[in-house]
Structure 1
């Protein structure tokens, strides 16, 4: 490589590391949580919204089922988390669903699982970045016309950060991840406390109605099942920890399973809290403003988390911007799960002869 290109590469990627230095890159649990769990944790920023968007098709009475749909979703999340904890111990070399299916179901089934995971990693980048920008422009509506440019810029930023290495990126990602956790749990705590004191937060969309009629019978059941499927977006990225067991500090399997359990507990608490509080705050949101009645002409529909933080802390307050800022940051960084999980899975596939080795 020419001297002209060597300096920019060192600035972006850092100095090359020897094999003996690889031990220094292994992750402690406090850094593994933001590196591998930012995706499932951040999914709580839009999982409840996805449920509400579906239930809005059934009118006001259907929206009241939001907490119950959330209970079904977190029950599945708990089951998946416990299953992947077993995978961490049974397959400490990583590989997740690919390793499990290869050992128990054969090559063809394992390749289907691997292909699905690799596509999922790519989609995770697209969905997380787009959702992060959506929350960002909810706080700063003037930037809405530049959403595509913001998405591309965040992807470039993530790429550069990951070229610096997993541990380095983990250190940088820790602040947004823990900031999101603290800000959201503070919001939930304040919201529930105010509700108990008789001052229930009221969302800006509480006065809107729905243009759809209330479904009954089979139509209601189908609607609830569809809402459940949409809410299962909160399960995205749970696989990443079991894929990345080799990058944990020793004892690798124990630390990975402990991180996975912590992630599951945090996600379940956030999902239930946001779902219940958004229902009590009467957040009404729909795919199209035409599905809502009583909407002002100049109304700009904001995300569920934006409406909830505005209802709890007040619009354009420090608490509101803290929630929106950290939500944007963690949703953007949630794409990091793909940046870390994809290479590990690809390397395992290459070792098995199912992917190019170079």
Structure 2
């Protein structure tokens, strides 16, 4: 007969605090994990919101950097934008190969670890974790920037708004992937549609001879006089800022496990759709900005004629007002959609960071808590950590987009570069393995198909590795002195910490793994009940110890006062407690050390017995009650657990206030008074206080007295 399996039949969330249930919803069972998987139409707003939203600030940053050299430098913008588009195409195609080869969700981390070694893999992981934090900070700061562009009066509340939005996004994500996708889908698709419509309308107006004119087109720009080398450096810096449009591409590769089956096909299709939409929007916005004459300066006071006491409208706001008119309904729709999608772009990080954290925890490079799913089947610990760190970054940098973006994209291009180099090695190893096949096996259709696929992948990822390494060098050179050096400090520190965590887990596993030196069957089994005063909790602990039928059971009192010791001995005799009492003097008023010394002496006299120490402990219902009790039992337990061969049994005693844990105090139940229970006292509570008969006699004590 097969054993019966117990099933938890409680209502969902029955044990959850009401506030938690209201915020996050009822807990989900593990059986509903498949229901949380995403179809392509829902995966796009979840994983692509970062890449799509970056087109709202990438053209702005590109033009802003070029304008630092003067109006003439805008002539370089079409070529810089074209270079960004080409790079985006190459990266998207390269990541399609990565998804196919490594669909487990490890992304660049898994590729680098398996093909380049431990250190490159950990560096990639550290770079991605840093980039996810900055994705949240930059996306939220940019979203708040667009809100302030529409409502300038909110400028003094910039930091507070940013922090509030991060908290809101954390709560939404903690409710579960599926609920988050439903909430984020509408703003993302509205943003895509509104920007595409704006680009089409703006280009149509231009073709009809009525091009849109931006509000800043009339402002001149105080440019800097630059040497030829500085001109090249400025163009490269503009290119590196424009490359922020590529952020988020890697999120799909890291989120493959969240897709519905077929996971690889759906992830590749979502990545392709994201790339095409991002290219159209980036190219269209850059074109409209140039047509309408948008002038966006790093320092607004460099705009001749602009009142720099006012916040500078974002590029998106200027293009929208030029195309549809300031204050028009389409203008506010675009600003609202842009702000929403920029805020929701942080959601990409709230999916990528916890998934990567769970992979790192599984591999032993991060705390195991990151691999634990919460009530709503999401990796809630990772989400909370990401939210806390992102809030700290926003507060430190005062949610300033121009400052934050200088720290951005370094991490993502570190992971791009090492991931693509790892893929090159992967395909080369695959081709070597195919060459080692016998002539007959090499001519099999499957081998021919695999060889063709490996050669294609090698060509694509070789190009991707070349371009991403080149861009990483450019980004490093152009952004290093503008704050990016902090990222180069953070990544090695984080990587070193992860390797340290891995070594710790490795040492612990080595320490606790079973071997031939492990023996079973200790000699002797002793129970010690620690007694302060003779009270009901102590009697309950003695009852438990007797029921466990140890070889020997006795009570130990640590004497810090002669009067209390004498009183306890007298009460012990009066109540005929069926366990011998031992008094241990403590001249220095300590408790754990005398007990430890007593155990040591006992073992010297009677052999290496297994010792179980029973500790009575109050359980309270109000938070403030814990301040009124000295919690001595917990402190003693923590110290005694350091002694080999000693186990601790905490015997709880529920005070009346613990009824709050179960709700309002119950009224007497039918038959309760006839059963001898006090009125108003729940049956389970009385049972907790009841002392059972001692049962079979303990081997070390006399037969308990009969009543």
For the criterion TM > 0.5, the same-fold answer is yes
Mapping for residues 173-252 of structure 1, pairs under 5 Å: 173-213=184-224, 215=226, 217-252=228-263
Structure 1 window deviating more from structure 2 (2-11 vs 248-257): it is 2-11
Name which of 66, 69, 76 aligns with 1:58. 69
What's the CA shift string for 1:108-157, capped at 9, x where partnerless? 10000000000111111111001000000100111111111111111111
- The residue number in structure 2 matching 1:85 is 96
- The residue number in structure 2 matching 1:335 is 346
What's the CA shift string for 1:223-253, capped at 9, x where partnerless? 1101000111111111110000001000001
Q: Identify the structure with bigger relative contact order (alpha carbons < 8 Å, sequence gap 6+).
A: 1
What's the CA shift string for 1:193-249, capped at 9, x where partnerless? 000000000000111111115646333221110100011111111111000000100
Contact 2:110 2:121 in 1 (8 A): yes
Tell me how far apart the structure 1 counterparts of residues 265 and 308 of structure 2 sit (CA, whole Å): 56
Larger proportion of helix: 1
- Aligned residue for 2:333, secondary structure, equals helix
1:167 matched to 2:184? The reply is no
Change (3 A) 1:196 1:10: same
- The residue number in structure 2 matching 1:145 is 156
- Aligned-residue offset at 1:299: 5.5
- Aligned-residue offset at 1:16: 1.8
Contact 1:242 1:256 in 2 (8 A): yes
- Aligned-residue offset at 1:270: 0.7
- The residue number in structure 2 matching 1:126 is 137
Question: Considering only aligned residues, what root-mean-square deviation do their CA atoms show, in Å?
Answer: 1.5
Structure 1 window deviating more from structure 2 (162-171 vs 292-301): it is 292-301
Contact 2:68 2:298 in 1 (8 A): no
- The residue number in structure 2 matching 1:307 is 318
Contact 2:155 2:311 in 1 (8 A): no
How many aligned residue pairs are there? 357
Contact 1:60 1:214 in 2 (8 A): no
Tell me how far apart the structure 1 counterparts of residues 54 and 348 of structure 2 sit (CA, whole Å): 12
- The residue number in structure 2 matching 1:11 is 22
Tell me how far apart the structure 2 counterparts of residues 180 and 156 of structure 1 sit (CA, whole Å): 22
Larger Rg: 2
- Aligned-residue offset at 1:95: 1.1
Contact 2:40 2:259 in 1 (8 A): yes
Tell me how far apart the structure 2 counterparts of residues 213 and 155 of structure 1 sit (CA, whole Å): 38
Tell me how far apart the structure 1 counterparts of residues 194 and 301 of structure 2 sit (CA, whole Å): 33
Tell me how far apart the structure 2 counterparts of residues 221 and 240 of structure 1 sit (CA, whole Å): 32
- Aligned residue for 1:35, secondary structure, equals helix
TM-score (norm 1): 0.97
Tell me how far apart the structure 1 counterparts of residues 174 and 84 of structure 2 sit (CA, whole Å): 35
Tell me how far apart the structure 2 counterparts of residues 169 and 300 of structure 1 sit (CA, whole Å): 32
Contact 1:177 1:330 in 2 (8 A): yes
Contact 1:211 1:292 in 2 (8 A): yes
Contact 1:283 1:307 in 2 (8 A): yes
- Aligned-residue offset at 1:291: 1.8
- The residue number in structure 2 matching 1:347 is 358
Unmatched 5+ residue regions in structure 1? none
Contact 1:66 1:276 in 2 (8 A): no
- Aligned-residue offset at 1:290: 2.7
1:112 matched to 2:113? The reply is no
Unmatched 5+ residue regions in structure 2? 1-12, 370-707
